[in-house]
Amino acid sequence: MKRLLLVKFAAEIFLKGLNKGKFEKKLMDNIKASLIGVQYEFEIDYGRCFISTEDIDETVKRVKKIFGVSGLCIVTQVESDFEEIKLEAIRQLEEKKFSTFKVETKRAVKTFPMDSMEVSRKLGGLILDAMPEKKVDVIAPELKLYVEIRTKTYIYSDIIKAIGGLPYGMNGSTMLMLSGGIDSPVAGYLMARRGVELSCVYYHSHPYTSERAKDKVKTLADILRSYTGKLKLYVVPFTHIQMEIVEKCREDEITILMRRFMMRVACTLAEKNGIQSVTTGESMGQVASQTMESIVVTDIVSTMPCFRPLISTDKIDIMDIAREIDTYETSILPYEDCCTIFVAKHPKTKPRLKDIEFSEEKLEVDMLVKEAIDGIEVYC
């Protein structure tokens, strides 16, 4: 008898047909990478993945943040012998507080002399004999006892929720425009959860934005890195671009002109590093630069797909996700980023492309983008 950690793969992985093996291998590789420094061994039993380790708590802490893992269970492994199964089941339930229960059995090994229903029924009766004050409730039990009969048998009653999604790195790459706000870290998390590899770009306006603002974004990148395992943060000097826009263009067009430069820089940086797309934290109608007209005018300068996973999401829902992934408290720290300085009093919400292009004729666009790219700092 020993304790193991059962790793439940996200159900979506099993729908990948002939590609299922690739997804499973990537997930296993990601789990291995997360457990560097922990002594462990994998055990595979009829398609189920178990981790044998002396440090179960640390292993749970790391593996539950791996995309593609839907749940973790601390299980007891016993021989596939009904008497041993009965003794361990009763022992586990004696340590729990509950009034009603249900036994759920899965029999992967068909040579076991009883089928799943028979095991559940007989085991439930023996539990009632040992604990007559308990009751069976097959509809809404307070506790479920899970019995998985494979080469060995695994018994457990608790499932630790993990983050699910698809294995990180299986679905291409994106350059996330990471600000110090609430939205963009959530957008990056959601893309990573779908298996998209992240890199991040942050636009820094020294001396108008402080080093604390940069440190705040580096902390947000570190939090995202705790899910992805690896992540590069590119810090772009943006002051000269902003000053040129402020000095030479209409005040009410400042925001949309800055967004177009951000898009150009992000696309150029992505292309330079072999990254396939750009991602932003925009939500439809949330601010002036996120109206349909503003988004269309911004996207005109994009040279690759731009993803907006929050486009139809309410702010309250975005905040809830930010709290769940531990970025919220960092995001609300009161350090200004480049988007909160040089803000127009009455920004255009329905910019016209020809007007914006006319304004940009006053700027040396290519030179400004190249200058920004050349001045990048990289943090890994």
pLDDT in tens, 62-77: 999 999 999 999 999 9
> How many Å apart are CA 280 and CA 298, to the nearest integer?
12
pLDDT band for position 336 (cuts 50, 70, 90): low
HSE, side-chain direction, 13 A CA sphere, residue 3: 10
Q: Is residue 279 part of a domain?
A: yes
> How many Å apart are CA 267 and CA 106, to the nearest integer?
50
Q: Is residue 230 part of a domain?
A: yes
Task: Output the pLDDT for position 266.
Answer: 97
- Looking at residues 238-250, what average pLDDT do you find? 90
Q: What is the CATH number of the domain that holds 22?
A: 3.30.2130.30
Domain boundary among 140, 161, 182: 161
Task: Output the pLDDT for position 209.
Answer: 78
- Give the pLDDT confidence of 93-139 residue by residue, as tens digits: 998 999 999 999 999 988 999 999 999 999 999 999 999 999 999 99
> How many Å apart are CA 234 and CA 340, to the nearest integer?
20
Domain boundary among 130, 161, 192: 161
- Given a cut of 80, whether residue 372 has pLDDT beyond it is yes
- Looking at residues 320-335, what average pLDDT do you find? 92
**Residues 145 and 86: beta-carbon distance below 8 Å:** no
- Given a cut of 70, whether residue 303 has pLDDT beyond it is yes
Q: How many separate domains does the chain show?
A: 2
- Given a cut of 80, whether residue 316 has pLDDT beyond it is yes
Claim to verify: residue 135 and residue 178 sit in the same structural domain: no
Claim to verify: residue 145 and residue 294 sit in the same structural domain: no
Query: Which amino acid is present at 94?
Result: E
Claim to verify: residue 202 and residue 139 sit in the same structural domain: no
The helix/strand/coil state of 370 is helix
Q: Is residue 289 part of a domain?
A: yes
**Residues 26 and 67: beta-carbon distance below 8 Å:** no
Longest pairwise C-alpha distance within the chain: 86
Q: Is residue 278 part of a domain?
A: yes
Claim to verify: residue 111 and residue 183 sit in the same structural domain: no
Token couple for 129: 């004999």
Q: What is the CATH number of the domain that holds 344?
A: 3.40.50.620
**Residues 305 and 262: beta-carbon distance below 8 Å:** no
Claim to verify: residue 33 and residue 140 sit in the same structural domain: yes
Q: Is residue 265 part of a domain?
A: yes
> How many Å apart are CA 167 and CA 26, to the nearest integer?
6
Q: What is the dihedral of CA 333, 338, 339, 343, to 10 degrees?
A: 110
Q: Is residue 167 part of a domain?
A: no
Claim to verify: residue 267 and residue 315 sit in the same structural domain: yes
> How many Å apart are CA 154 and CA 363, to the nearest integer?
68
- Give the pLDDT confidence of 172-207 residue by residue, as tens digits: 999 999 998 999 999 999 999 999 999 999 999 888
Claim to verify: residue 321 and residue 357 sit in the same structural domain: yes
Q: Is residue 168 part of a domain?
A: no
Claim to verify: residue 188 and residue 334 sit in the same structural domain: yes
Domain boundary among 161, 192, 218: 161
Q: Write out the residue range of the structural domain in which residue 145 sits.
A: 2-161
Please give, one letter per residue, the 3-state secondary structure of 211-275: HHHHHHHHHHHHHHHHHHCCCCEEEEECHHHHHHHHHHCCHHHHHHHHHHHHHHHHHHHHHHCCC
Q: Is residue 309 part of a domain?
A: yes
Which runs of E-coded beta strand occur in the chain? 2-9, 40-45, 48-53, 69-78, 100-107, 135-136, 143-149, 153-156, 160-161, 173-177, 197-204, 233-237, 278-279, 306-307, 377-379
Task: Output the pLDDT for position 339.
Answer: 58
pLDDT band for position 210 (cuts 50, 70, 90): confident
The share of the chain scoring above pLDDT 90, in percent, equals: 79
Task: Output the pLDDT for position 342.
Answer: 63
- Given a cut of 80, whether residue 344 has pLDDT beyond it is no
The alpha-helical segments, DSSP class H, found in 273-314 are 292-299
Claim to verify: residue 127 and residue 187 sit in the same structural domain: no
Claim to verify: residue 193 and residue 305 sit in the same structural domain: yes
Claim to verify: residue 135 and residue 204 sit in the same structural domain: no
**Which residue, 146, 157, 121, 118, is CA-closest to 136?**
121
Task: Output the pLDDT for position 101.
Answer: 95
pLDDT band for position 162 (cuts 50, 70, 90): very high
Helix (H) or strand (E) holding 114: none
> How many Å apart are CA 327 and CA 317, to the nearest integer?
14
> How many Å apart are CA 168 and CA 148, to the nearest integer?
28
**Which residue, 51, 23, 13, 24, is CA-closest to 35?**
51
Task: Output the pLDDT for position 1.
Answer: 72
Q: Is the pTM for the entire model greater than 0.85?
A: yes
Token couple for 18: 């002939």
> How many Å apart are CA 265 and CA 353, to the nearest integer?
19
Tokens 């992934």 belong to 325
Mean pLDDT (the chain) is 92
Better-predicted residue by pLDDT, 24 or 346: 24
Claim to verify: residue 150 and residue 217 sit in the same structural domain: no
